Amino acid sequence: MASSLPRAAPDAHPARPGANSPTAEPRQRPAPRPHNGGRAPTAPPSRRSLGSVKDLLSAAGGLTLRPWHERDLTAVRDAFNEPGMYTQFGSVLDEGQVDDAAAGRWIDRHTERWEQGSAFSWAVVEGPAADAPLLGNVAVSQVNHVHDGGWISYWTVGAARRRGVAGAALRALSTWCFEELGLYRLELGHRVENDASCRTALSAGYLVEGRQRAKLRYGTTRHDVELHARLATD
Ligand SMILES: CC(C)(COP(=O)(O)OP(=O)(O)OC[C@H]1O[C@@H](n2cnc3c(N)ncnc32)[C@H](O)[C@@H]1OP(=O)(O)O)[C@@H](O)C(=O)NCCC(=O)NCCS
């Protein structure tokens, strides 16, 4: 397992084609969306108000990060039904299959958490168009403004892998977490056998901090997890 310092600076991935051509202009989020019945959040999600948090980000390679939307339902369903993706869904499913209803609940859950300021999950798409093809997901959850921390996760669809998507999106998300949310420490963990996730973390500046024994159970098998973290000052 590699534990070296990252080779790429945050938000720069010059080896990727089109890395210098982001096409979407970040904009300010105008107001919370009415998924909580139009009520204002009960607590501020960050040191800034939710109403001023950016909800459209550009990443290297012409990628755009935006909140999840109901129109993503089919893409979400298909992404989670790819081999190896079941563990990313975050809840136990009948038959191990994600149907339209489960995909819809996943989108709703992430929309609600965004409104509450507890987690921010971003659809990663190719280019600036609203209906651009879905490439993956990057998220910060367990947002904690007592200790200024967050938990990072990510996945990409099979057809988008090994193109630099996860690394570029993770670098953009990390910058947003530090600059927009005011977080100081971001953590993530991956099963020790997940080299792709480990290298993605390293490529975005997340240093290895240690091994957590038997932390996860999938079926009857328990997995050790390697913990990575990046600080705002790294
Ligand atoms: C892990 C995952 C998100 C990587 O996405 P990706 O878009 O292919 O990643 P990138 O193309 O940005 O590659 C990032 C780094 O990982 C490396 N990498 C990607 N896939 C790899 C693989 N299968 N084996 C080894 N290294 C791999 C790349 O070479 C790159 O390293 P580099 O920066 O040193 O060149 C993707 O494989 C995935 O979604 N897997 C299933 C879900 C998952 O495991 N999520 C993480 C849970 S902790």
Helix/strand/coil for 66: strand
Q: Which atom of ligand 1 is nearest to the CA of 160?
A: 7
Q: Which atom of ligand 1 is nearest to the CA of 194?
A: 44
pLDDT per residue rounded down to tens, the chain (234 residues)? 333 323 333 333 323 323 333 333 333 443 333 333 333 333 334 434 455 678 899 999 999 999 999 999 999 999 999 988 878 877 666 556 899 999 999 999 999 999 999 999 999 999 988 789 999 999 999 999 999 999 999 999 999 999 999 999 999 999 999 999 999 999 999 999 999 999 999 999 999 999 999 999 888 899 999 999 999 999
User: Ligand 1: distance of its center to the CA of 166 in Å?
Assistant: 7
Determine the residue of 85, 165, 199 to mutate for testing ligand 1's pocket, defined as the one with the most ligand atoms within 8 A of the Cβ atom.
199
Helices 73-80 & 100-116 angle (0-180, nearest 10): 110
Any idea where the domains of the chain sit in the sequence? 34-187
Residue 133 contacts residue 125 (beta carbons within 8 Å):
yes
Statement: the pTM of the whole predicted model exceeds 0.75: yes
Helix (H) or strand (E) holding 109, with range, is: helix 100-116
Domain 34-187 is found in CATH 3.40.50.800 = no
User: Ligand 1: distance of its center to the CA of 41 in Å?
Assistant: 35
